[in-house]
């Protein structure tokens, strides 16, 4: 017996939804590839990422001695910590800045009238950030291994840990960065609002010195945020087991690392798309024009 028009419509909805999702992913990957090529051709943008690697190498070359009670060079702990910080910074600082800047330029206004524009846009930005973040960390680890005898994973287990911690770490911070980019004000204020707490987490999360050297209340606050767990997971991948003596729990706690990063990833995904859609709905030609006039009056943009 033939289905009624209503049942036929219901039966076709999942297929249409799947096709729509595939189109969004395809459009997002195409857009992300274009943005990545533009980035690679922009010396100013590339120099910014390279300078972060150089700073990390200089700090690692400057520190001496061993991590107390471990026999592990302090430089190796610093390199592992900076690798985590670079992933964190690109997802939680660079991405929101890009989103706020493009919102000011009217990108979200155009996406509002584009079918599937917001999901495809988010896929493109995530692809761009993931490639840049992974490339930066690979460059850091490769350069320090060649020039400073820096740490690399020891065996397949170490490489596997490096892979899943990097993946989960990016999943934890990239959607969160997108959510922040949707609610932050103009680019001039966004950097100031983000950098202070990020630099605070850099100091308190055990990325540049053993976390056990910090007061216990500071360790407890840092353990709420993903950077502490990203750094701990990368230390587990890059450092020998003797370095566990410098961890707060005396162990790598990899299951807990995975759990905390997964919770942050879920939270970020739950926030990112609704906030971006809300930001797009609030955009209008009059808002864009008003922001441009304000920027011109303040001298931040030219007429």
Question: 3-state SS of 127-177?
Answer: HHHHHHHHHHHHHHHHHHHHHCCCCCCCCHHHHHHHHHHHHHHHHHHHHHH
Q: What is the pLDDT of residues 61-108, one digit of tens each?
A: 888 788 888 888 999 999 999 999 999 998 888 888 888 887 777 776
DSSP 73: B
CA atoms within 13 A on the CB side of 32: 20
Q: Where are the alpha helices (DSSP H) in the chain?
A: 5-40, 43-62, 74-89, 95-104, 107-112, 117-147, 156-183, 187-204, 216-222, 226-238, 254-282, 285-298
Which phi and psi angles does 66 have, rounded to 5°? -115, 160
Q: How far is CA 286 from the centre of its chain?
A: 32
The CA-CA-CA angle for residues 198, 200, 206, to 5°, reads 100
Q: Could you give the CA distance from residue 203 to residue 227 in angstroms, rounded to a whole number?
A: 11
What local confidence, expressed as pLDDT, does residue 159 receive?
Answer: 95
Best CA proximity match to 103, nearest among 183, 49, 163 = 183
* Mean pLDDT of the region 117-139: 84
pLDDT at position 302 is 44
- Per-residue pLDDT, 112: 65
pLDDT at 298 exceeding the cut of 60:
no
Share of the chain above pLDDT 90, in %: 31
State mean pLDDT over 152-174: 93
What's the mean per-residue pLDDT of the chain? 81
Instruction: Give residue 196's pLDDT.
Output: 84
Confidence of residue 137 (pLDDT cuts 50, 70, 90): very high
**Window from 3-12, 14-23, 129-138 with minimum mean pLDDT:** 3-12
Whether the pLDDT of residue 278 is over 70: the answer is yes
What is the pTM assigned to this prediction? Answer: 0.83
Is it the case that residue 292 has pLDDT exceeding 90?
no
**What's the confidence (pLDDT) of residue 269?**
86
Angle at 159 between CA 156 and CA 165, to 5 degrees: 135
What does 10-26 look like in DSSP terms, one character per residue? HHHHHHHHHHHHHHHHH
User: For residue 300, is pLDDT > 80?
Assistant: no
Nearest 10 degrees: CA dihedral of 90, 94, 98, 100? 130
pLDDT greater than 70 at residue 293: no
Residue 285 makes CB contacts below 8 A (sequence gap 6+) with: 109
Say what the pLDDT of residue 126 is.
81
Whether the predicted pLDDT of 205 surpasses 80: yes
pLDDT: which is higher, 25 or 269 = 269
At 145, give phi and psi (nearest 5°).
-65, -40
Mean pLDDT of 239-268: 92
Q: What is the mean pLDDT of residues 117-129?
A: 79
Contact 80, 234 (CB under 8 A): yes
Give residue 49's pLDDT band: very low, low, confident or very high (50, 70, 90): confident
Torsion of CA 163, 77, 95, 133, to 10 degrees: -40
Give the pLDDT mean for 31-60: 84
């Amino acid at each position: 017996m033939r289905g009624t028009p209503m049942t036929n419509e219901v039966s076709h909805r999942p297929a249409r939804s799947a096709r729509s999702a595939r189109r969004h992913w395809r459009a997002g990957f195409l857009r992300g590839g274009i943005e990545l090529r533009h980035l690679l051709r922009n010396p100013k943008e590339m120099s910014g990422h390279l300078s972060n690697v150089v700073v990390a190498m200089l700090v690692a070359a400057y520190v001496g001695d061993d991590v107390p009670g471990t026999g592990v060079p302090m430089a190796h702990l610093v390199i592992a910590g900076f690798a985590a910080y670079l992933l964190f910074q690109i997802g939680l600082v660079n991405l929101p800045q890009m989103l706020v800047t493009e919102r000011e330029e009217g990108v979200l206004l155009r996406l509002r009238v584009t079918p599937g524009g917001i999901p495809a846009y988010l896929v493109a930005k995530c692809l761009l950030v993931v490639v840049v973040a992974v490339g930066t960390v690979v460059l850091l680890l490769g350069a320090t291994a060649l020039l400073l005898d820096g740490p690399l994973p020891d065996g397949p287990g170490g490489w596997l840990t490096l892979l899943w911690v990097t993946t989960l770490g990016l999943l934890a911070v990239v959607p969160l960065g997108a959510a922040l980019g949707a609610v932050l004000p103009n680019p001039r204020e966004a950097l100031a609002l983000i950098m202070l707490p990020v630099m605070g987490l850099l100091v308190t999360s055990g990325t540049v010195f053993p976390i056990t050297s910090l007061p216990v209340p500071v360790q407890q606050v840092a353990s709420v945020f993903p950077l502490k767990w990203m750094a701990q997971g990368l230390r587990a991948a890059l450092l020998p087991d003797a370095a566990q003596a410098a961890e707060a729990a005396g162990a790598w706690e990899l299951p807990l690392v995975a759990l905390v990063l997964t919770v942050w990833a879920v939270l970020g995904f739950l926030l990112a798309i609704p906030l971006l859609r809300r930001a797009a709905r609030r955009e209008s030609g009059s808002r864009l024009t008003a922001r441009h006039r304000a920027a011109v009056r303040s001298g931040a943009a030219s007429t």
